Amino acid sequence: MTNCIEIKGLSKSYGDFALKNINLTLPGGSILGLIGENGAGKTTTIKCILNLIRRDAGEISLLGYDNVREERLAKQDIGLVLDECFFHDTLRPLDVGKVLAPAYKNWDGDLFQSYLDKFGLPEKKLIKEFSRGMKMKLSLSAALAHRPKLLILDEATAGLDPVVRDEILDEFLGFISDEDHAILMSSHITSDLEKVADYIAYIHRGEVVLSGARDAILDSYGRVGCTAAQLETIDPGDVLRTRKGAFGCEALVANRAAFARKYPMLLVERTTLEDIMLFVGKGEAK
């Protein structure tokens, strides 16, 4: 099975912010969820992947192609949905097809039309009259109509209601049922990623601080609720991060089962990606 994305040692510095030594791999037939706070480096990573910005160091391979030297070949097989709809307000969905068809060798007008029908998008309505959900569905239709192998989604589900999000997530799951297909999906909505992502990479202040299979992370990581006095009794090596509040303390542990065996008097629960983000973003090391 080919890796759809391979990123090795990616670095990019802006002076006040830097991506540091990012390493990511996205195997075919899977979804990699990229999580992180605002300004953590998710969009910068995606921009580097798309060669929209120059990297300072590292290598990026997309579907086996170098993302700079073989950019055009790679992009023929990439579908892109970014956080905003980039189609002009004065265009209609029908026009979007006319604009994009000459750019892609595999553009399938009938497929594009079928997505418009499936998502209930009126082909002759001006885009400025579309809701955010409709715009995202249009972007997705445009991204899928040239039968890409890799979908890159940057906050594509942000601002959408749960029904539309669910509809779009179903589409993503359908897309990766083909083993040659993969999705890189950056999102703040960690519950979406818990639903569909096979792998998770958490970028914090320009660095990958957590990376692995979603199930392994969620099965392994745990959240301990305790008092400040109980927290003092825990060996610092057994917790990753801690949070202290007015009503008690919490700690993030990497191995829930091992922690429960060592500290049977403390309750350790399953954690969520959002919890992990909060521990890393707002918590502190013990």
Partner 1 sequence: MIGLIMKDILVMRKLMKSYLLLIVIYIILAYLDFFDYSFIITFVQIILAVMPISAFAYDELAKWDRYAMSLPLGRSKVVGARYLFVLALTLFTVAMGLAGTALLYLAHQVDPLEMFVTLMVSTAIGLLLPTILLPLSYKLGAERARPYLYAIVFIPVIAFVLLVKAEIIDFSALNRLNGLSPTAILGGSTLLPLAGLAGLAVSYLISCRVAAGKEY
Which residues lie near partner 1 (CB under 8 A)? 47, 50, 52-54, 71-76, 78, 80, 82, 84, 86-91, 95, 98-104
Least distance between partner 1 and beta carbon 90 (Å): 5
Q: How many CB atoms lie within 10 A of CB 54?
A: 9
User: CB-wise, 81 or 197, nearer to partner 1?
Assistant: 81
Closest distance of CB 284 from partner 1, Å? 35
Rounded to 5 degrees, what angle do the CA atoms 260, 265, 269 make?
45
Looking at residue 245, its amino acid is: G
Phi and psi angles of residue 170, each rounded to the nearest 5 degrees, phi first: -60, -40
Least Cβ distance, residue 52 to partner 1 (angstroms): 4
Nearer to partner 1, 95 or 123 (CB): 95
- Can you tell me the distance from the alpha carbon of 17 to that of 39, in angstroms, rounded to the nearest whole number? 9
Which is closer to partner 1, CB of 24 or CB of 143? 143
* Closer by beta carbon to partner 1, 54 or else 261: 54
Q: Provide, rounded to whole angstroms, the least separation between the CB of residue 240 and partner 1.
A: 35
Distance of alpha carbon 89 from alpha carbon 254, whole angstroms = 48
Measured CA to CA, the distance from residue 170 to residue 137 in angstroms comes to 12
Q: Are 194 and 272 in contact (CB under 8 A)?
A: yes
Q: Minimum CB separation from partner 1 for residue 182, in Å? A: 17
Q: How far is the CB of 82 from partner 1 (least distance, A)?
A: 7
Distance CA 277, CA 265 (A): 26
- CB of 86 or CB of 191, closer to partner 1: 86
Nearer of residues 60 and 74 to partner 1, judged by Cβ: 74
Degrees to nearest 5, angle at CA 71 with 69 and 77: 140
Q: Is the Cβ of residue 101 or residue 260 nearer to partner 1 in the bound state?
A: 101
The token duo for 68 is 């700079």
At closest approach, how far in Å is the CB of 204 from partner 1? Answer: 23
Q: Is the dihedral of CA 194, 195, 198, 204 positive or negative?
A: negative
Is-contact 191 214, C-beta < 8 A? no
Using CA atoms, how far residue 109 sits from 93, 102, 118, in Å, is: 12, 11, 14
